[in-house]
Amino acid sequence: MVVIVFRSRLRQGVENEIAEAGQRMYELASSMPGFISYKDFVAEDGENAAIVEFESLETLAAWRDHVDHKVVQQQGRDKFFAEYRIQVCTPVRVSEFVWAGAKG
C-alpha cells in the first residue's frame, strides 16, 4: 500500500471551482485500478489535508500520469493553490482496532 498526504492552501475565491474539479478527480481516481480510499480535512488555520491510498507505486503512477489528472494538476498550479506539499509514504506498520459495538 502507498499513502499520499497532500497538504495545501487555496488562493482566495477559488472554492467553488476547485470543488467541481475535485469532484471530477475523485470520480476518476476512484475508478482507477488500485485506488483504495480518499479522505480530506480542513484545519482551523485554513490548511487542507487529503489522505489518499493506492495499492502500489505502479497504480499511483498510473493515476499521477492520467491525462485528465495532468490537466487539473496544471490548473492547480496556475489558479487554485497558493501552496501545496505532497508526501508519498509506505506504511512501516499497520495496527487496527474495531470495537464490537461500532456501527459502520
Query: pLDDT (tens digit, 9 = 90+) per residue, 13-29?
Result: 999 999 999 999 999 99
Cα atoms in the Cβ-side hemisphere of radius 13 Å centred on 21: 17
What pLDDT shows up at residue 101? Answer: 84
pLDDT at 52: 98
Query: Does residue 103 lie within any of the structural domains?
Result: no
Amino acid letter, residue 62 = A
Residue 19 located in a structural domain: yes
Please state the rounded mean pLDDT for residues 18-47.
96
Q: Is residue 98 part of a domain?
A: no
Tens-place pLDDT, residues 46-66: 999 999 999 999 999 999 999
| pLDDT for the residue 102 | 74
Q: Please check whether residue 20 lies inside any domain of the structure.
A: yes
* Predicted local confidence at residue 104, as pLDDT: 61
CB 58 within 8 A of CB 33: no
* pLDDT at 83 exceeding the cut of 90: yes
Rounded mean pLDDT of the chain? 96
Reported as a single tens digit per residue, the pLDDT across 2-17 is 999 999 999 999 999 9
When divided into structural domains, the chain yields a total of: 1
Q: What is the CATH number of the domain that holds 6?
A: 3.30.70.100
* Residue-range definition of the domain harbouring residue 7: 2-89
Q: Is residue 99 part of a domain?
A: no
Contacts of residue 95, defined as CB under 8 A and 6 or more positions apart, other chains included, come to none
